[in-house]
Amino acid sequence: MGSEFDAVLCGAGHNALACALHLAARGWRVAVIEGNDEPGGAVKTGAYTLPGFRHDWAAMNLSLFAGSAFMKTHGAELARHGLEFVPVNRPFASVFADGSWCGVSTDLAETTANIARHSPEDAETWGQLLADFPGRAETIFGLLGSPMRLRPAGYFIFKTLRKLGLRGTADMGRFLLQSPRDWLEETFRAPQVRAMLAAWGLHLDYAPDIAGGGLFPYLEGMAGQAFGMVIGKGGADTVTRALVAAIRARGGVVDCGTPVARILHSGGRATGIELADGRKITATKDVIAGTSPSALHRLTGGTTPAFDRALTRFSHAPGTMMIHLALSGLPDWAAGPALQTHAYVHIAPSLDQMARTYQQARAGLLPDEPVLVVGQPTVFDPSRAPEGRHVLWVQVRMAPGTIQGDAKKEIGAQDWATAGPAFAARALDILEHHAPGTRAKILGQRIVTPADLEADNPNLVGGDQLCGSHHLSQHFLFRPALGHADGSTPIRNLHLTGAAVWPGAGTGAGSGFLLARKLAGN
């Protein structure tokens, strides 16, 4: 590896890799330096239980990447380097305490029938929402894809006023401020339909009563209906492998197992990085840190008092536990065999249960009834397991990064190494209740606690897979801090990218692509 590049990127998460590829495609000499032994951050896949069973470490849903502006620009190149998706026509469903279920399919008649079992009125509402979705989506996706600087934000508001008028813009503003509960309770009658959609809020740290969260149940519901879901053929790491191969094919460097000790800067300008082994790499144009805000503060040794305060006060969401299971067969869902045809099954029975779980985790307590996101990827991609076998991808939401106690008063341990197996058993008890006999089908398992997630990837502070809460005070223009939502820092030529920067978490590569376009001029 050389010692001088146009751009040096710290960390090989998918945002940093996307940024590096776009810069390389514009003729920049790039080097991506990753401390872990493999690239990808949370977007990686491995045989974490038994040989032949491929499990997505954290991210499984690649819909945002598949539909991203980055993919529109570089998709053909990535496909040449092995990127391959698997379409999902039944993206999600939920099971409830009364033994019923509700789910979304790309077949509108099927979804409508599922909802009508709970409320014919809600089925009619669903159809109306879907009919209005293309018009609303243009405005919403325009916002989510815009650079979060004052001038572009002002221009977006101006365009929205011209399109929607004052009243329409005010209605859109109100919608963007609503909590999931506010929007769901004014839109749907059946508690089951509300709960099915509210589960998506927890994926982005929006419990039912958090302002600004109503947008995400709406978007996931409508997008799931209109487009379904996308997962990676063979695993989510199809994205990472293709990105790395494309960067290298353009002459770029991706070097793993090499921790960055510090970011070099002098005279208020970033000049390169120093590795843990003492080697120095010069950046003639830019240094890009795909890190958490706290890690950036540590690597720079400090910038300005105001920016340093913002980095150290950056708030993280509660953590997540992952349970990877190798199974002899799919779960036999008590609510009905149709659930075996959905990519995700949420075990999140009600708005109140989700709100209670979230508050318990925020208070440092192991929740008495955590929410489970049960991923069944081998339904759509049997290549991930030996013939006739399956993998189960279980996200346990929410979990405290630091344990202060147990809401159920059963687990006395306050360290994850000791408490992890007992909390995982609680989660598997919930799964067993809704899918009796699942435990008997387990051939192998791997429990990944919040502490394990952070140890593997320091950006996931406390097991926070979002690299920071998305609450309104830390979103839009304020992610990660006012004036820096474009990834800029007080040190010239030093930029932050990743989930901590607007537009935030998810697999859409938004922050990396926006930054690369800004730096390259297109």
pLDDT digits (tens, 9 = 90+) for 400-430: 999 999 999 999 999 999 999 999 999 999 9
Q: Phi/psi of residue 489, each to 5°? A: -135, 170
> DSSP of 64-130, one letter per residue?
HHHTSHHHHHHHHHHHHTT--EEEESS-EEEE-TTS-EEEE-SSHHHHHHHHHTT-HHHHHHHHHHH
Residue 141's pLDDT is: 75
pTM value?
0.94
Counting beta carbons within 10 angstroms of the beta carbon of residue 300, is it exposed (0 to 12), middle (13 to 18) or buried (19 or more)?
buried
Residue 286's pLDDT is: 98
Residue 174's pLDDT is: 84
3-state helix, strand, coil in the chain (%, to 5): 45, 20, 35
In the numeric block, the tokens 């493999």 are attached to: 38
Residue 172's pLDDT is: 76
Residues 6+ apart with CB under 8 A from 7: 20, 23, 28, 29, 30, 31, 283, 285, 286, 287, 288, 519
Residue 33's pLDDT is: 97
Element (H, E) at 447: strand 442-448
**Greatest CA separation for the chain:** 67
444 Cα distance to chain centroid: 26
Token pair listed for 321: 């536990």
Query: How many CB atoms are closer than 10 A to CB 145?
Result: 15
Which stretches in the chain have pLDDT values below 50?
Answer: none
Q: Phi/psi of residue 301, each to 5°? A: 80, 5
| Integer Cα distance of 276 and 306 in angstroms | 28
Of 476, 397, 367, nearest to 202 by C-alpha is: 397
- Domain ranges in the chain are 4-43+59-86+235-314+466-520, 92-227, 317-456
304 Cα distance to chain centroid: 30
Residue 158's pLDDT is: 55
| Integer Cα distance of 460 and 423 in angstroms | 20
* CATH C-level class of 317-456: alpha beta
The CATH number given to 4-43+59-86+235-314+466-520 is 3.50.50.60
Gyration radius (Cα) of the chain, Å = 22
Of 229, 244, 230, 227, nearest to 82 by C-alpha is: 244
Token pair listed for 4: 């001088």
Q: Where are the alpha helices (DSSP H) in 333-481?
A: 351-362, 416-434, 450-456
Token pair listed for 476: 């839009």
Residues 6+ apart with CB under 8 A from 168: none
Residue 489's pLDDT is: 97
Residue 352's pLDDT is: 97
Residue 2's pLDDT is: 67
CA-based end-to-end distance of the chain: 28
Name the β-bridge partners of 7: 30, 286
Strand, helix or coil for residue 346: strand
| Integer Cα distance of 262 and 268 in angstroms | 15
Q: Where are the alpha helices (DSSP H) in 316-449?
A: 351-362, 416-434
Residue 146's pLDDT is: 74
| Domains 4-43+59-86+235-314+466-520 and 317-456 equal at CATH topology level | no
